[in-house]
């Protein structure tokens, strides 16, 4: 039996067969029971959640619900600012930081009546692909506790996959929503850059970061995106583009006669696991069965996207993370007698290894004498990567690719080799370069029972098409809801 989706819970709330307090207690209980094994949360907001749930029930009794998801529990990644609730970014440097304001996406969840039950574990400052780079310990994959859930939004992926919450928000800078969604067998979507406000999302790489939904089904992703999307005067990069009713439009897409681009660069290569290749082939067969035409294309510059990302992302991070200096908030190292030493020691002790590595990479790439060769060159290659997408999308309605070259890998197996970890994002990172939208959905399992995701991608602000196409594919594949990890069985 499958875990209950947010849509089902919303229906039960509307029928009056459950209350929001019932649901919130249920999920808090699931969290308490499974956290010792999963470590998906940094902070569980028990009191706040029960208070919010009681208010939701009062609204419903008065006939004043705020949205279809009013009363549904949700988790948010711990890089989203929550007023009065500590926000750590998985870092020691923010271990005790209690923000005095609220981020826009979180505020919108509250305004839609959702019940925020906790802040999820993540790679420190969203830098990582395994949720092992967390100052609060690694999160475990619910399908195999010895394996990683992916990252950096690993906590949100685990929480949804294991039935700790029905839906969650993550953030995606180079694949940080889609890759853990793929490794945990759930749906994860990176909206177009600017679709969701970044106000109150702690910045890693400002030209790439984007908040998005992590859910059990495509329909839930449509509902959750609809709740948080939209223009925000507090984020000048947020787009003033209308937000359609994504969930209502899901049935409007027919694959018959549609063209889907299969870039050869995403379907070959020594790094591609044979079982992922098998699932990719089966997915393409399904699409052909639905009447889609598979168009072979080449995107010759995507092979440069890892390098481009690690120059641009780290350059932006080196600037963004300069604010963590121990002066105004967060951790401050003891025992220094001048301000420069205080800054350096605070940062040296407060940041983990991967964060320090990326700050130094970015600082070096931007430093005198190297700027043109590294940073400027990467900005130009980014233009070429984007052109690859534009060419593919001229020939087809959507682009398809595996989300991750391999299924969930054993914890610890890539921690000693940063470059090997970076290569986890080889199929997801180029989309962030282009700024377009993409969704990973569960497409099958390995023989060993690990989930495998496939991603569909579309152009700027084409979320409606993307979600409805993914919804049709999800129905045809029949993978979503077909299996539940053992640790989640008690949640059913």
Catalytic residue chosen out of the listed positions 20, 130, 156, 176: 176
Bridge partners (DSSP) of residue 390 are: none
Q: Is 98 in the site for another protein (CB under 8 A)?
A: yes
Q: Is 409 in the site for another protein (CB under 8 A)?
A: no
Q: Residue from 51, 55, 59, 356 that binds another protein (CB under 8 A)?
A: 356
Cα angle for residues 120, 126, 128 (degrees, 5° grid) = 110
Of 217-236, which residues contact another protein (CB under 8 A)?
233, 236
Catalytic residue chosen out of the listed positions 5, 20, 56, 77: 77
| Shortest spacing between CB 310 and another protein, in angstroms | 6
| Shortest spacing between CB 204 and another protein, in angstroms | 15
Of 363-392, which residues contact another protein (CB under 8 A)?
363-364, 367, 373-374, 376-384, 386
Q: Is 469 in the site for another protein (CB under 8 A)?
A: no
Report the first-to-last Cα separation within the chain, whole angstroms.
7
- Which CB atom, from 70 or from 388, has the smaller least distance to another protein? 388
**Element (DSSP H or E) covering residue 312:** helix 305-320
Q: Is 361 in the site for another protein (CB under 8 A)?
A: yes
Cα angle for residues 250, 255, 259 (degrees, 5° grid) = 125
Q: Is 414 in the site for another protein (CB under 8 A)?
A: no
Give me the 418-457 binding string for another protein, x by CB under 8 A, dash otherwise: xx--x---------xxxxx---------------------
CA distances from 188 to 53, 169, 214, 466 (A): 25, 9, 4, 12
Q: Residue from 19, 82, 301, 404 that binds another protein (CB under 8 A)?
A: 301
Distance between CA atoms of residues 394 and 398, nearest Å:
9
Q: Look at residues 294, 311, 439, 276 and name the one whose alpha carbon lies nearest to residue 385.
A: 311
Q: Is 319 in the site for another protein (CB under 8 A)?
A: no
Cα angle for residues 452, 455, 456 (degrees, 5° grid) = 150
Q: Is 205 in the site for another protein (CB under 8 A)?
A: no
- Which CB atom, from 266 or from 374, has the smaller least distance to another protein? 374
Contacts for 394 with CB less than 8 Å, ≥ 6 apart = none
| Shortest spacing between CB 403 and another protein, in angstroms | 20
Q: Which three-class secondary structure state does DSSP give residue 188? A: strand
Do β-strands 167-171 and 211-215 pair in parallel, antiparallel, or remain unpaired?
antiparallel
Q: Look at residues 160, 170, 207 and name the one whose alpha carbon lies nearest to residue 190.
A: 170
Contacts for 96 with CB less than 8 Å, ≥ 6 apart = 86, 330, 331
Q: Confirm whether 176 is a catalytic residue.
A: yes
Q: Confirm whether 77 is a catalytic residue.
A: yes
Contacts for 469 with CB less than 8 Å, ≥ 6 apart = 253, 255, 258, 397, 398, 456, 458
| Shortest spacing between CB 374 and another protein, in angstroms | 7
- Which CB atom, from 246 or from 304, has the smaller least distance to another protein? 304
- Which CB atom, from 37 or from 303, has the smaller least distance to another protein? 303
Q: Which stretch binds another protein (CB under 8 A): 110-118, 146-154, 331-339, 479-487?
A: 331-339
Q: Is 357 in the site for another protein (CB under 8 A)?
A: yes
Q: Is 61 in the site for another protein (CB under 8 A)?
A: no
Q: Look at residues 383, 365, 382 and name the one whose alpha carbon lies nearest to residue 374.
A: 365
Q: Residue from 460, 476, 481, 483 that binds another protein (CB under 8 A)?
A: 460
Q: Is 107 in the site for another protein (CB under 8 A)?
A: no
User: Would you call 453 exposed, middle or buried from its count of C-beta atoms within 10 A (0-12, 13-18, 19+)?
Assistant: buried
Q: Which stretch binds another protein (CB under 8 A): 48-56, 90-98, 130-138, 287-295?
A: 90-98
Q: Is 207 in the site for another protein (CB under 8 A)?
A: yes
Contact by Cβ (8 Å): 202, 355: no
Q: Residue from 41, 125, 310, 427 that binds another protein (CB under 8 A)?
A: 310
Residues forming the active site: 77, 152, 176
């Amino acid at each position: 039996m499958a875990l209950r989706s947010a849509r089902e819970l919303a229906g039960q709330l509307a029928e009056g067969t459950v209350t929001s307090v019932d649901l919130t207690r249920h999920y808090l209980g699931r969290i308490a029971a499974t956290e010792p094994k999963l470590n998906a949360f940094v902070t569980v907001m028990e009191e706040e959640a029960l208070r919010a749930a009681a208010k939701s029930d009062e609204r419903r009794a008065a006939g004043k619900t705020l949205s279809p998801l009013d009363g549904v529990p949700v988790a948010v990644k711990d890089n989203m600012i929550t007023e009065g609730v500590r926000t750590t970014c998985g870092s020691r440097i923010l271990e005790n930081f209690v923000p005095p304001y609220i981020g826009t996406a979180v505020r919108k969840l509250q305004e839609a009546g959702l019940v925020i039950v906790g802040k999820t574990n993540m790679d420190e400052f969203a830098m990582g692909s395994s949720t092992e780079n967390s100052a609060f310990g690694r999160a475990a994959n619910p399908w195999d506790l010895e394996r990683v859930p992916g990252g950096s939004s690993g906590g949100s992926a685990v929480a949804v996959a294991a039935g700790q919450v029905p839906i969650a928000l993550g953030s995606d800078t180079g694949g940080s929503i889609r890759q853990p969604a793929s490794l945990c067998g759930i749906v994860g979507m990176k909206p177009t850059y600017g679709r969701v406000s970044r106000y109150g999302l702690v910045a890693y790489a400002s030209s790439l970061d984007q908040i998005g939904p992590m859910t059990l089904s495509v329909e839930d992703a449509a509902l959750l995106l609809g709740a948080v999307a939209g223009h925000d005067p507090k984020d000048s990069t947020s787009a003033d583009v209308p937000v359609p009713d994504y969930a209502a439009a899901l049935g409007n897409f027919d694959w018959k006669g549609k063209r889907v681009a299969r870039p050869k660069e995403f379907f070959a290569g020594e790094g591609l696991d044979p079982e992922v290749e098998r699932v990719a082939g089966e997915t393409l067969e399904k699409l052909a069965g639905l009447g889609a035409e598979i168009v072979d294309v080449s995107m010759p510059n995507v092979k440069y996207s890892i390098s481009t990302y690690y120059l641009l992302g780290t350059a932006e991070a080196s600037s963004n993370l300069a604010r963590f200096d121990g002066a105004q908030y967060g951790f401050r190292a003891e025992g220094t007698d001048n301000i420069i030493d205080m800054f350096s020691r605070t940062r040296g002790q407060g940041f983990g290894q991967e964060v320090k590595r990326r700050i130094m990479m970015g600082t070096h790439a931007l430093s005198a004498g190297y700027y043109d060769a590294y940073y400027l060159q990467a900005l130009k290659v980014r233009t070429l990567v984007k052109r690859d997408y534009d060419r593919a999308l001229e020939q087809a309605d959507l682009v398809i690719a595996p989300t991750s070259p391999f299924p969930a890998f054993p914890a610890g197996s890539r921690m000693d080799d940063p470059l090997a970890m970076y290569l986890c994002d080889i199929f997801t990172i180029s989309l962030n370069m282009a700024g377009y939208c993409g969704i990973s959905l569960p497409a099958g399992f390995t023989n060993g029972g690990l989930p495998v995701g496939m991603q569909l991608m579309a152009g700027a602000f084409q979320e409606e098409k993307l979600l409805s196409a993914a919804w049709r594919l999800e129905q045809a594949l029949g993978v979503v809801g077909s299996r539940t990890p053992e640790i989640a069985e008690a949640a059913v």
